[in-house]
Amino acid sequence: MSITRRQALKSASAAVLATTIAKPAIAAKDPILIGYLPALTGPSSSTGIGINRGVQLAVQEINNAGGVDGRQIELIVRDTQSDPTKAVNGAAELTRGQKVNFVFGPVNSGEALAVVPMLARINVPQLHPCWVDTLADPTKYPLCFRNGPTNQQIGGAANRYVVETMKLKKVAVISDTTGYGTASVVAYVPMLKAIGADVVYQAHVDASNPDVKPEMLRMQAAGAEAVMPWSVNAGFLSRLINTRGQMGWDVPIVGQTTLGSGQTKALLDKPEHWAKVYPNNFRPCCYDATGKLPERTKVFVDRVRAAKIDMNDTLLWWIALGYDSPMLVADAIKHVGTEPEKIVGYLNQLKGFPGVYGDIAFTPEQHNGYPDRQIVMVEANSLKDGAFNMAPGYGAA
Amino acid sequence: MVQSIVLSGLAIGCIYALIGITYNVMFSASRVFSFTAGTLGMIGGVLGSLFILRMGMPIPIGFLLALAGGALLGLVTEIVAVRPVLKSLDQHLYVLSTLALALMVQQFTAIEWSTEAQPFPRLLGTARSAFDEQFWLPMLACLAVIVGLELLYRHTLIGRAFLAIAEDTYAARALGLPERSLRMTSFALAGAIGALAGFAGGEMLLAFFGNAPLLTFYGFVPVALGGMGNNRGAVVAGLLLGLFQQSANFLVGGIFASVAVFTVFIIVLLARPEGLAGAALQRRV
């Protein structure tokens, strides 16, 4: 039997129609693909490993509870290896090859600086927690949202703690010679002056110099009542802390989270040198004056412990941030589905998403979702189970 | 303040001088400036911390193993990065080959050890004081190397053979000296001296892969200022460099201290291209 061209076209049309009709029913069962770009290896991996524990827990909880409207979340992970080039390659593969519905990450600013402009051209919504100020801009990157603080917020919290809480006016601000360090000093000195501080000393210091005593002596001679170093170099920060101890100078050191890291602690001559060192942290992940975590965080920590997730070698806020991120993505998809425009529209109106790491809110004009009031300073020497005591002077939340 | 400048300046100057000697010992045996000298210093600190702190070995054993590790890396330098380019010294290929090896070792250390500075053990455990062991240990190491090399070069047959090779390789070979074996021994010796610099200075510099470029650059300054191949010149120039650097740290501070060091370095080289203690190069016509 021969088949005419008209019959063939009819058959083809019927097949196409059948496929098209059946598609929504199948799509509803398809997993939701979330691309995920952590640094699980390489020099910046300590953050990524901590965040990853929270991400995996969240995805496991969502899927165990039946997924999002019956659809499981499938996390497609590409380890950036702390390398911006690999992060870009991973992002391209996730979006063009895997066709993910959403991207979470990268989780380090250096990688995000390379990935965010690239994803902005591909029409895939993105969430990241990186601090560099320019990494969230609704005009340039309308699909990109930040659920962490900006550097301005971090510096602002430290500045307010020194000037308004500790009532210290004469401040020394120093950094290493990295881009992060120099940019921080340039940004934070005017902020300090704007709230009434007298910046008596500012300098960029060669972090490889083994002797920082000259810098400390100059700061002391300038009358500094607080020292604010901006660096992620644990060797440099520990030398400052050790030298302060050897000089017997009782000045508080206030600044970046690395001041409270395990790497900094390992390089201290004496544990007591860590007293009066106040790094940044986040109120929902800190012990209050009575030594307790906020109720929401306490419940979360119990779930983390039940899941046998190790908290001793990482920080609670990393795990909490990782946990909140897939939860936020799932919340958006649950409300509006996986269309990029609808997700962006939903996030643009998000008000007070109740995260463990913090309450997140966005507007069409403001894609920086982390609130100022939740950024605090903590006592570096109080680390226990990944969390710190808030520094003296903070009241209840 | 003067005490701080002198103590830390002399200590860091001794480390630079030892790295300068490392350059010179390798140069004398091969006419090659091996830019692995700073890496050898870095590896001494890292291996010291690895053996003593991480693996819990007694300090003397850790010390000897760190020196052995440096000597081994010195040998690898000779075999991998120097020997293949000896026939084309005039093309200066050794700059690339030794820098490449130095970078490979540095990156390997970063990946396998840590990208963060790691603690170095308190070697003698003395109470901390103004004249702390972290300052006088590098001075002691520098003194031991100077005396040791003088004894080796002036009073032993093998030392004289080293000098013969350094003076005229072809003539020494014509006299039957085993040039290759002597060159390899020199590189092993240089490796051990470099590792000693990093080990003795470990309490100041910490066990950090990033010390390699620092020592490579600052260790080269005494060689250039003191005259290439001139150990005495390297020691004097290293000590002056350390003192000047610390004085600049105290007087101008911040990144300007490094600028001051290199400004003086360039001015000295413009005035005396052969170095402060070097002889003017004569060309046979």
A308-337 CB burial, b ≥16 within 10 A, e <16: ebebeebbbbbbbbbbbbbbbbbbbbeeee
Q: Do A205 and B255 touch (CB under 8 A)?
A: yes
Q: Which of A81, A208, A213 to mutate to test the interface with B (most CBs of B within 10 A)?
A: A208
In a domain, A16, yes or no: no
- A237 and A382 in a single domain? The answer is yes
Q: Do B208 and A235 touch (CB under 8 A)?
A: yes
Q: Do A215 and B117 touch (CB under 8 A)?
A: no
- A191 and A69 in a single domain? The answer is no
Contacts of A1 (CB under 8 A, 6+ apart): none
Residue window 95-154, chain A: list those with CB within 8 Å of chain B.
none
Residues of chain B in contact with residue A42, where contact means CB-CB under 8 angstroms, are: 115
**How far B223 CA lies from chain A's nearest CA (Å)?**
20
pLDDT in tens, B178-213: 888 999 999 999 999 999 999 999 999 999 999 999
pLDDT of residue B3: 81
Provide mean pLDDT across the span B264-282: 74
In a domain, A12, yes or no: no
Q: Which domains does chain B have, with CATH numbers?
A: 2-122+131-271 (1.10.3470)
**How far B44 CA lies from chain A's nearest CA (Å)?**
16
Q: Which amino acid is at A347?
A: L
Residues of chain A in contact with residue B116, where contact means CB-CB under 8 angstroms, are: 43, 234-235, 263
CATH number of the domain that residue A210 is part of:
3.40.50.2300
Question: What ipTM is given for this predicted complex?
Answer: 0.81
Evaluate the CA torsion angle B63, B69, B75, B77 in order and state its sign: negative
Q: Do A266 and B208 touch (CB under 8 A)?
A: no
Q: What is the distance between the alpha carbons of residues A79 and A286, in angstroms, rounded to a whole number? A: 29
- A278 and A166 in a single domain? The answer is yes
A208 Cβ under 8 Å from any chain B Cβ: yes
Q: What is the distance between the alpha carbons of residues A32 and A76, in angstroms, rounded to a whole number? A: 10
**Whether A375 contacts A321, CB under 8 Å:** no
Closest CA to A266 of B42, B50, B113, B117: B117
Q: Do B206 and A177 touch (CB under 8 A)?
A: no
- A190 and A97 in a single domain? The answer is no
Interface size, chain A vs chain B, as Cβ–Cβ contacts under 8 Å? 67
Q: Which amino acid is at B19?
A: I
Q: What is the distance between the alpha carbons of residues A169 and B223, in angstroms, rounded to a whole number? A: 47
Q: Do B128 and A246 touch (CB under 8 A)?
A: yes
Q: What is the distance between the alpha carbons of residues B76 and B32, in angstroms, rounded to a whole number? A: 15
Q: Could you give the number of structural domains in chain A?
A: 2
Range of the structural domain that residue A65 is part of: 32-149+296-372
pLDDT in tens, B220-254: 999 988 878 888 889 999 999 999 988 888 888 76
pLDDT of residue B278: 61
Q: What is the distance between the alpha carbons of residues B132 and A360, in angstroms, rounded to a whole number? A: 51
pLDDT of residue A7: 55
B119 Cβ under 8 Å from any chain A Cβ: yes
Q: Do B253 and A214 touch (CB under 8 A)?
A: yes
- A258 and A385 in a single domain? The answer is yes
- A367 and A253 in a single domain? The answer is no
Q: What is the distance between the alpha carbons of residues A144 and A366, in angstroms, rounded to a whole number? A: 11
Residue window 214-243, chain A: list those with CB within 8 Å of chain B.
214-215, 217-218, 233-235, 238
**How far B224 CA lies from chain A's nearest CA (Å)?**
21
Contacts of A54 (CB under 8 A, 6+ apart): A318, A319, A320, A321, A322, A323, A324, A325
Give the chain B residue nearest A206 (alpha carbons).
B255
Q: Which of B7, B135, B255, B256 to mutate to test the interface with A (most CBs of A within 10 A)?
A: B255
pLDDT in tens, B7-55: 999 999 999 999 999 999 999 888 888 999 999 999 999 999 999 999 9
The tens-digit pLDDT sequence of chain A (397 residues) is 444 555 555 555 554 444 444 444 445 578 999 999 998 887 677 788 889 999 999 999 999 999 999 999 999 999 998 888 999 999 999 999 999 999 998 998 888 999 999 999 888 999 999 988 899 999 999 999 999 999 999 999 999 999 999 999 999 999 988 777 888 898 899 999 999 999 999 999 888 888 898 899 999 999 999 999 998 888 899 999 999 999 999 999 999 888 988 888 889 999 999 999 999 999 999 999 888 999 999 999 999 999 998 887 788 999 999 999 999 999 999 999 999 999 999 999 999 899 999 999 999 999 999 999 899 999 999 988 889 999 998 865 4
User: What confidence category does residue B277 fall into, taking pLDDT thresholds of 50, 70 and 90?
Assistant: low
- A139 and A195 in a single domain? The answer is no
Give the chain A residue nearest B205 (alpha carbons).
A210
pLDDT in tens, B90-137: 778 888 999 999 999 999 998 888 888 899 999 998 888 878 899 999
- Dump the DSSP string for A75-105: EEE---TT-HHHHHHHHHIIIIIS--SEEE-
B255 Cβ under 8 Å from any chain A Cβ: yes
In a domain, A52, yes or no: yes
Q: What is the distance between the alpha carbons of residues B17 and B78, in angstroms, rounded to a whole number? A: 22
In a domain, A11, yes or no: no
* Residue B166 Cα distances to A138, A257, B88, angstroms: 67, 53, 18
In a domain, A21, yes or no: no
Centre a 10 Å sphere on the Cβ of residue B38 and count the other Cβ atoms it contains.
26
Beta strand A353-354 with A359-360 is antiparallel
A211 Cβ under 8 Å from any chain B Cβ: yes
- A234 and A381 in a single domain? The answer is yes
In a domain, A8, yes or no: no
Residues of chain B in contact with residue A203, where contact means CB-CB under 8 angstroms, are: 253-255
**How far B86 CA lies from chain A's nearest CA (Å)?**
34
- A55 and A175 in a single domain? The answer is no
Centre a 10 Å sphere on the Cβ of residue A114 and count the other Cβ atoms it contains.
18
Give the chain A residue nearest B125 (alpha carbons).
A269
Q: Do A235 and B117 touch (CB under 8 A)?
A: yes
pLDDT of residue A26: 46
- A130 and A174 in a single domain? The answer is no
Q: Do A205 and B8 touch (CB under 8 A)?
A: no
- A255 and A337 in a single domain? The answer is no
A246 Cβ under 8 Å from any chain B Cβ: yes
Give the chain A residue nearest B215 (alpha carbons).
A208
Q: Do A266 and B119 touch (CB under 8 A)?
A: yes
Q: Do A43 and B115 touch (CB under 8 A)?
A: yes
A66 Cβ under 8 Å from any chain B Cβ: no
pLDDT of residue A19: 45
Residues of chain A in contact with residue B110, where contact means CB-CB under 8 angstroms, are: 43
Residue window 48-87, chain B: list those with CB within 8 Å of chain A.
none
Q: Which of B12, B118, B257 sits opposite A210 (nearest CB)?
A: B12
Residues of chain A in contact with residue B210, where contact means CB-CB under 8 angstroms, are: 208
Q: Which of B4, B206, B254 sits opposite A235 (nearest CB)?
A: B206
Ordered alpha helix ranges (H), chain A: 5-27, 45-64, 84-92, 109-120, 151-160, 179-194, 213-221, 234-247, 262-266, 295-306, 316-336, 340-348
Provide mean pLDDT across the span B249-269: 81
Residues of chain A in contact with residue B215, where contact means CB-CB under 8 angstroms, are: none
pLDDT of residue B91: 76
- A241 and A206 in a single domain? The answer is yes
Residues of chain A in contact with residue B208, where contact means CB-CB under 8 angstroms, are: 235
Residues of chain B in contact with residue A269, where contact means CB-CB under 8 angstroms, are: 128
**How far A230 CA lies from chain B's nearest CA (Å)?**
14
In a domain, A15, yes or no: no
